[in-house]
Amino acid sequence: MRAITVLLVLFPFLGRAQNAAPVVDITGASVDLLAGTVTVTYDLSDTENDPCNVHFHASTDAGFSFMEDTQLATGSIGADITPANGLSITWPYSGIVDIQSVTVRVSADDGHTPDIQAMVDQVLEATVAARLANIAIPRHYQSAPAGLAQVRDSIWQQFSSAGLQTVATPVPYNGSFSDNVMGRQPGFINEARTFTVDAHYDAVANVPGADDNATGVVATLEIARILSQYTFKNSIRYIGFTFEEQGLIGSQYHVQSDFPEWETHDGTLNMEMIGYYSDEPNSQTVPAGFDFLFPDAVAAIEADEYRGNFLTVVGNTNSQSLINTYSNACDQYVPTLRHITLEVPGNGTIAPDLRRSDHASFWDEGIQALMLTDGSNFRNANYHTPNDVVATIDITFLTQNTKATLATAAILAEPINMGADQFDLANAVGITEKGLVRTMVVYPVPLYSGCAEDVLHIKVDHVQQARFGLFDLSGRNAVHEQLLQVGKDGTFHFSVGGLAAGLYVLRMNSEGGTTAVKVEVR
């Protein structure tokens, strides 16, 4: 027979530690409805025992975003918090009708910035080549809808496997629907500030579209896979756009109707054909009038005998800072990648050839955006033909372009060495209906003669029926929820047979509210 002891605390949803990042463990929470406060207790540890910056956030949408106003929170929060156990934060919440619907998060960073070069070095040619073979298939909404759906599903699966908040948004066109697929990686400090990494995944009819635009999709997936392993101050959206070949339909739909009101958009990295490379003289042409609009760029191309051996970085006037960031990232993290930058006036209407991809939809909404391209038909003679196959792609060049875009995205999102934990206040101690006095006591086993082993005997004032469930400290069900009626002795009897020794949390839901207590099984 085992003894079962009870402590008035609640279980945490354990945060994900990353390398030498600080570790946050929420050990308890309570809600005072009369005072309108939430108090969270937590333990903070750090391998190097560095003082940490501690942040507190709250969510009313089940943890999708943490955008509630927590500026009035006090306690062990802010800069220079020494790692210790038993730290606490008190938040005087306001304007929230149902505090039980709130999820709170405590996060901490130790001020050490993760190495972007280490992120860049994870982009490998073998992985890029394998991805390209899977994406470069016919995929068109009329001539190859199954292929389009297959690639869409692959993008969804990759985003979901990376732990991103993945959403598929149907986009209408010409009596058909196809999905924009988005994977969101929320920032931990400035969540509203968002940067986008994207590529369109459709192709024109009856072509494999290796360069146009399987290369961009491959890069987007690789960047999402790698950066999702890290935490950032700002948010990143990874997007596979549909219906680009029909006139930027997918990206236009996105910028006009797919943004939450609280989200700001500070930059987009749009990859449009980034895998065709040629070191042959005269393999690169330029559109008419470019020598007038971009004399320095054309002079550089001419000086290298018009070789198609560079990435073109295209931005508009509003995107000059983004151009600079990308160029600097190339120089620092992928120094062997030759790149040429173009700044088109206004929204690019003076140079229509520079508006032929999804970045233009962002330009038209006043959002900074770049088109990253190998020059499409001004270099690649296979453009929009059945000859646009994997064998024509330069994997080294594609890998370098992926690395440069990854580095830029990481710089923009601002990596941070952070650990975090979050907790659902539906499980908090002390949440009761206003004015209802209720105490909850769980007695050691066995208290009464004739009781079976491993049964919790629970006495609750003013409650005749309730649902009880038992969870381990990671939030998983240890004993599934049971609807119980109060017994003749005035107690509930909850069977917990077969449990391993350790700590658990008993949660009770009744008309009066929710209460949770920690149970120790010895």
At 498 the pLDDT is 72
Higher-confidence position of 95 and 291: 291
Q: What mean pLDDT is predicted for residues 389-399? A: 98
Q: What mean pLDDT is predicted for residues 237-245? A: 98
At 19 the pLDDT is 60
Q: Encode pLDDT of 252-297 as tens digits.
A: 999 998 888 899 999 999 999 999 999 999 999 999 999 999 999 9
Domain with CATH 3.40.630.10 in the chain: 116-416
Q: Which residue has the tokens 């003679």?
A: 381
The answer to whether residues 506 and 442 touch, using CB atoms and an 8 Å cutoff, is yes
Four-CA torsion 251, 255, 260, 264, nearest 10 degrees: 110
User: Cα(351)–Cα(368) distance, rounded to whole angstroms?
Assistant: 17
Higher-confidence position of 106 and 465: 106
At 488 the pLDDT is 79
How far CA 93 is from CA of 59, 69, 104, 306, in Å, comes to 12, 8, 11, 63
At 505 the pLDDT is 75
Asked if pLDDT for residue 88 goes beyond 60, the answer is: yes
Q: Encode pLDDT of 11-25 as tens digits.
A: 232 233 346 899 999
The answer to whether residues 248 and 205 touch, using CB atoms and an 8 Å cutoff, is no
At 451 the pLDDT is 43
Q: What mean pLDDT is predicted for residues 410-435? A: 82
At 81 the pLDDT is 98
User: Cα(68)–Cα(206) distance, rounded to whole angstroms?
Assistant: 49
Strand, coil or helix: 41? strand
Find all residues with CB under 8 Å of 309, minimum gap 6, and list them. Answer: 277, 278, 279, 284, 338
- Best CA proximity match to 196, nearest among 239, 162, 158: 239
At 446 the pLDDT is 39
User: Cα(420)–Cα(73) distance, rounded to whole angstroms?
Assistant: 17
Q: For the whole model, what pTM was predicted?
A: 0.81
User: Cα(185)–Cα(236) distance, rounded to whole angstroms?
Assistant: 5
At 15 the pLDDT is 33
Confidence of residue 413 (pLDDT cuts 50, 70, 90): very high
Confidence of residue 467 (pLDDT cuts 50, 70, 90): confident
At 431 the pLDDT is 58
Confidence of residue 474 (pLDDT cuts 50, 70, 90): low
Confidence of residue 2 (pLDDT cuts 50, 70, 90): very low
At 17 the pLDDT is 36
Confidence of residue 428 (pLDDT cuts 50, 70, 90): confident
High-pLDDT (> 70) share of the chain, %: 89
At 475 the pLDDT is 63
High-pLDDT (> 90) share of the chain, %: 73
Per DSSP, which regions of 123-200 are E strands? 165-173, 176-185, 190-200
Asked if pLDDT for residue 471 goes beyond 90, the answer is: no
Q: What mean pLDDT is predicted for residues 361-388? A: 98
User: Cα(342)–Cα(320) distance, rounded to whole angstroms?
Assistant: 9
Confidence of residue 39 (pLDDT cuts 50, 70, 90): very high
At 522 the pLDDT is 66
Asked if pLDDT for residue 456 goes beyond 80, the answer is: no
Asked if pLDDT for residue 463 goes beyond 90, the answer is: no
User: Cα(386)–Cα(516) distance, rounded to whole angstroms?
Assistant: 63
What's the CATH fold of domain 116-416? Answer: Aminopeptidase (3.40.630)
Q: Encode pLDDT of 217-234 as tens digits.
A: 999 999 999 999 999 999
Confidence of residue 430 (pLDDT cuts 50, 70, 90): low
Confidence of residue 189 (pLDDT cuts 50, 70, 90): very high
The chain-wide mean pLDDT, for the chain, equals 89
Domain with CATH 2.60.40.3080 in the chain: 4-112+418-521
Measured over the CA atoms of residue 159, residue 164, residue 167 and residue 173, the dihedral's sign is negative
Residue 121: CB atoms within 10 A of its CB come to 12
Confidence of residue 8 (pLDDT cuts 50, 70, 90): very low
Q: What mean pLDDT is predicted for residues 413-431? A: 88
Q: 3-class secondary structure for 447-496?
A: CCCCCCCCEEEEEECCCCEEEEEEEECCCCEEEEEEEEECCCCCCEEEEC
Asked if pLDDT for residue 497 goes beyond 60, the answer is: yes
CATH class of 4-112+418-521: mainly beta
Phi (first) and psi of residue 460, to 5 degrees? -130, 125
Altogether, the residues listed in the chain come to a count of 522
Strand, coil or helix: 193? strand
At 20 the pLDDT is 82
